[in-house]
Amino acid sequence: MKLVNPANKRKYKILMVGTGLGGGAGAATLGELGYNVECFCYQDSARRAHSIAAQGGINAAKAYPNDGDSIRRLFYDTIKGGDFRAREADVWRLSQVSNNIIDQCVAQGVPFARDYAGYLVNRSFGGAQVSRTFYARGQTGQQLLIGAYQSLSRQVKAGKVKIHNRREMLDLVVVDGHAKGITCRNLITGEIESHWGDAVVLATGGYVNVFYLSTNAMGSSVTANWKAAKKGAFFANPCYTQIHPTCIPVTGDHQSKLTLMSESLRNDGRVWVPKKAGDKRPANEIPEDERDYYLETKYPSFGNLVPRDVASRNAKLQADAGKGVGASGYAVNLDFRDAIKRDGEKAIRERYGNLFQMYEKIVDEDAYKVPMRIYPAPHYCMGGLWVDYELQSNVPGLFVLGEANFSVHGANRLGASALMQGLSDGYFVIPYTIGPYLASTTPGAVTTDHDAFKESKAQVEANIEKLRNIKGNKTPFEFHRELGKIMWDNVGMARSEESLKKALTEIPKLREEFWQNLKCVGNDKEVNQQLENAGRVADFLEFAEVLAFDALNRKESCGGHFRVESQTEEGEALRDDENYAYVAAWEYKGEGKAPELHKEPLKFENIHLAQRSYK
């Protein structure tokens, strides 16, 4: 691997888009190494990226509880959890650095939970039979992000990092096949800005807002990634979306987002539905022998801690069988009665206090007294821009970190692994892997004077004009909601050839209507949140088609991608390793044209492929 010597590092400028765990940690670390970094985020401060909302915890193979954990076991659990659709090498590296992450965060002052003697404690998450999850109350993501943001702040003071907040990336600038900058909109002044860099790093998060209702932040979008895809970056495995089993159920059409209840709750909460379909008695009035603890019965060894895809699918099966609870029937109980009886309310409050409080604020019920009602909701995407082992996309000079890339979670991500990946990519991968690329380039060779920047800017401005001049009748929200319904009904938890083909005829129709009937009010040279939304919805309307296309192409079930045509007798996801043990990387071929599929075969040298079983 080529290195850049310390004296030369200061000659290079790197653009980092996004300031979550991947971007914040990456920018801070690249700054520490001596590179000049410019950071971009759409929020008003780098500290508000959506990594902050992660609740439960972060995995590491520290094996402090002496329960037989090891790097090898974390590696195996992650590959198996991902239903054997991730690259072995990337996951091995992730498992190796997991321990360094915990050390680094503690040194920053991240207040992970500790015992009375002062040592770190762990809890369990889905898909693992060891306790390897570190946590800080129910706010682990917040504490880790603030840690990264503190490091970033230190580099801002040192003059190595400059942060541009309230900027949204609207195009990637490619010069002679290399990523050399971005075009973005200043969300306060509306000005379209060009920024050059010797390399561009995207840490722009996930795209599950394509379902409209999800646990993502309102501003989370596919825009930055999709713009990069339109400039040649391959989009890998877009159909791998994660539907999280423990979210607060939908209450009405007005709903703007769904709230996650951390998976950690499944350590102590027991999931159940009434044994009799249509039993509408209040939960506490249903006697023990009329309750079906279906996860514990069906999966005795993992019980309530089966992986997310399995838990979600089983909740849907119960609701479809008429056993769902709550007014809508689309919910199952998550009951803490037995845990409170066993450990006392105080202990439960200490572990999950803020989650119970959040539940009470939203639902107006006390979960210490009555079971929570939960239902699956879109939460995370395992798919993302294709990257190699160095986290470089197929466009040289374009690197992708965290949820924005596709690399380690295969077809399903295990709980407490997203934080691990974001920080791994940011603190321990990109600082080394960007070097060889930079060493092969001349610093500052291309700046914003280049014609490519002017072309990109003109294109972005033209697109904004186009959005503003449609002057139709429907708002961006209305289109987004409609798209979400198409996606949830046809490309959601259960996908069939029929439903996917239906989505593929409905999405282009809706897109056509969007470009004829959008109502986008307000000026473009000032704060205009309608314009921001319109642009994001326009990109979702293009990207959704690629997602459905990928789902149609993959005629197997694996992890979060469940094709009803491909299941075991017991209704579990049935893989087809002979035909689909590959990464599907899609190349954009222009508007209205089918994307082209590139296959990267997955080779397993250390792990034997098996039907996943959590029984």
Partner 1 sequence: MSEKTMNLTLYVWRQANAKAPGKMERYEAKGISPDMSFLEMLDVTNEQLIKQGIEPIVFDHDCREGICGMCSQVINGVPHGPEELVTVCQLHMRRFNDGDTIFIEPWRSKAFPIEKDLMVDRGAFDRIMQAYGYTSITCGGAPDANDHPIPKWQLDRAMDAAECIGCGACVAACPNASGMLFTAAKVAHLNMLPQGKPEGARRVKAMIAAHDLEGFGNCTNHYECEAACPKGVKTAFISYLNKELIKALPKGAQD
Least distance from partner 1 to the Cβ atom of residue 548, Å: 27
Closer residue to partner 1, CB minimum distance, 53 or 597: 53
Residue in the structure block whose two tokens are 């996004």? 18
CA angle 354/148/80 to nearest 5° reads 75
Closer residue to partner 1, CB minimum distance, 120 or 510: 120
Least distance from partner 1 to the Cβ atom of residue 133, Å: 14
Closer residue to partner 1, CB minimum distance, 478 or 513: 478
Residue in the structure block whose two tokens are 């960007």? 434
DSSP-derived letter for residue 205 is: -
Closer residue to partner 1, CB minimum distance, 236 or 348: 348
Closer residue to partner 1, CB minimum distance, 347 or 445: 347
Least distance from partner 1 to the Cβ atom of residue 125, Å: 18
Largest CA distance in the chain: 74
C-beta contacts of 514-519 below 8 A and 24+ residues apart: 514/479, 514/538, 514/541, 515/466, 515/470, 516/470, 516/472, 517/470, 517/472, 517/473, 517/474, 518/467, 518/470, 518/472, 518/474, 518/475, 518/476, 518/479, 519/470, 519/471, 519/472, 519/473, 519/474, 519/475
Least distance from partner 1 to the Cβ atom of residue 132, Å: 13
Closer residue to partner 1, CB minimum distance, 482 or 556: 482
Q: Which residues are CB-contacts of 41 (< 8 A; sequence separation ≥ 6)? A: 18, 19, 23, 48, 49, 163, 164, 165, 166, 167
Distance of alpha carbon 485 from its chain centroid, rounded? 20
Least distance from partner 1 to the Cβ atom of residue 142, Å: 6
> Which residues partner with 291 through β-bridges?
274
Of 208, 64, 73, 190, nearest to 526 by C-alpha is 190
Closer residue to partner 1, CB minimum distance, 364 or 591: 364
Least distance from partner 1 to the Cβ atom of residue 161, Å: 10
Least distance from partner 1 to the Cβ atom of residue 201, Å: 16
Say if residues 456 and 171 touch (Cβ distance below 8 Å).
yes
Say if residues 505 and 565 touch (Cβ distance below 8 Å).
no
Alpha-carbon span 114 to 419, nearest angstrom? 19
Closer residue to partner 1, CB minimum distance, 18 or 81: 18
- Going by DSSP bridges, is the β-strand pair 291-292/199-202 parallel, antiparallel, or unpaired? unpaired
Closer residue to partner 1, CB minimum distance, 64 or 582: 64
Least distance from partner 1 to the Cβ atom of residue 259, Å: 5
At 345, list the tokens.
């309310």
Least distance from partner 1 to the Cβ atom of residue 187, Å: 9
